[in-house]
Structure 1
Amino acid sequence: MNNKAFEVLQKEAPEVSEVWQQFLLKASALDEKTQNLVYLSVLSAFHLENRIPFHVKMAKMHGATRDEVISAVLVGLPALGNIVTTALSVAIEAFDKD
């Protein structure tokens, strides 16, 4: 779901959005920090840089350090090569923003 679609879902159907988000959290065995760090890795691998700032913010809110965010972005480097490095500046900028 792109950012615009997610924003519309939150605005127009907040109850559905909340239930959906809670379902995803409860369905995962990962804590919220780890889940957001993993999600950063996936976003980086798929070149979805526009979604990275939100998940950096969420990871940071749940205790992730700058080094953990950087590591999450770069974890795919051996498998994917430099493709993930394009997300690095986006993630660092988002982390340092607050």
Structure 2
Amino acid sequence: MTATYKDNATSIDKRVGALFKAAPSVMTPYSQLVKAASADSVLDSKTKELMAFSISIAIRCEDCIVFHLRAALNHGASQDEVIEAISVAIEMGGGPSVVYGGRALKALEDLA
């Protein structure tokens, strides 16, 4: 059986949890940074997660794509908003982002 992006999301959670146990002095402040950066402010959390999702595609980080897509969906992002975020990533990342944008679209199918 081929692993799905939903399976990958679970695996990411386990790996991050292991990092928290192995390196709490690094991961605790990092977690605080993430919470501060992603909190509702001038931009809402959904918008920030869609931005992080787009950046993840442009920098070709597949686990980051899954992580931030799931977060964006949890914050209420629609399929149309996710597809528009993929389009922005392609604008900024060119051809490689087309490939990773396709992976992101498959992840959307698995996670939605």
Q: TM-score, normalised by structure 1?
A: 0.71
The residue that corresponds to 1:49 in the other structure is: 62
Residues 69/18 of structure 1: CA separation in 2 closer, same or farther (3 Å cut): farther
Matched, 1:21 2:34: no
Contact 2:49–2:68 at 8 Å: present in 1 too? yes
Identical amino acids, percent of aligned pairs? 34
Match of 1:68 among 56, 65, 81: 81
What RMSD over aligned residues (CA atoms) do the two structures have, in Å?
2.8
SS at match of 2:60: coil
Counterpart-to-counterpart distance in 1, 2:22 and 2:28 = 12
Match of 2:94 among 64, 81, 92: 81
The residue that corresponds to 1:10 in the other structure is: 20
Contact 1:44–1:87 at 8 Å: present in 2 too? yes
- Residue ranges of structure 1 left out of the alignment (5+ in a row): none
The residue that corresponds to 2:8 in the other structure is: none
Counterpart of 1:68 in structure 2: which amino acid? E
Contact 2:52–2:68 at 8 Å: present in 1 too? yes
Tell me the matched-pair count. Answer: 96
- RCO comparison, higher one (Cα < 8 Å, 6+): 2
Residues 80/94 of structure 1: CA separation in 2 closer, same or farther (3 Å cut): closer
Residues 64/89 of structure 1: CA separation in 2 closer, same or farther (3 Å cut): same
